Amino acid sequence: MNRLLIALLLATSAFYQPALHAQSAQASLKAALLYRFVQYSEWSVNPPAQQVYCVAGDIEVFNALTAMLPEQAKTVLLKNADQATECTVLFLSLELASQAGWSPLLQPSGRLTVVEGAELFRQGAMFGLIAEPQRISFRVNLTLARQNGFHLSAQMLKLAKEIH
């Protein structure tokens, strides 16, 4: 009986592992994009002494970002919008688009904003991640970024799917 149970558990985990791997790979890609957006952006007004990366709505992106950043970098997993006061970089997941209270964080504040999905992007984010089959692309609201005092690298803008 124990052998049958172990065999069943192994077969089940092998069945679900590719889906878990794809999900974690996607989270790692989102975290890497977030990190690169910061590296290729300049705060022209009041640059922060230390970046505070805040992630809301996606624990996997938070974990991937925390693992990727140097030890001295600060990451915060936001449970509610009121916790975002110290954030210099903000990532909002697709699930938060329909929840009240998160979109005001996209208003001009001196923080770099990255979101998933078109709805939050239209509400005032600087970067929008677009999930496509086998990849993630991004769009940039260059006008908004400039209005908020950011200078974005030309190399990064070349890679954007859309620039507004």
CB 136 within 8 Å of CB 26: yes
Reply yes or no on whether the pLDDT at 148 is more than 70: yes
CA dihedral 26, 36, 73, 24 (to 10 degrees): 10
Tokens 């679900």 belong to 16
- Global confidence as pTM: 0.85
100-109 burial, b for 16+ CB within 10 Å, e for fewer? eebbebbeee
pLDDT in tens, 78-121: 999 999 999 999 999 999 988 989 999 998 888 999 999 999 99
Reply yes or no on whether the pLDDT at 154 is more than 90: yes
CB 160 within 8 Å of CB 141: no
Tell which residue, 97, 145, 134, has the closest CA to residue 118: 97
Sequence-separated (6 or more) residues with CB below 8 Å from residue 107: 124
Count CB-CB contacts under 10 A for residue 146: 13
pLDDT in tens, 3-42: 333 333 333 334 333 433 455 889 999 999 999 999 999 9
Quote the pLDDT of residue 75: 97
Quote the pLDDT of residue 11: 36
Mean pLDDT of 48-61: 95
Higher pLDDT, 108 or 68: 68
Residue 160: pLDDT band (50, 70, 90) is: very high
Higher pLDDT, 132 or 139: 139
The domains found in the chain, sorted by start residue, are 27-163 (3.40.50.2300)
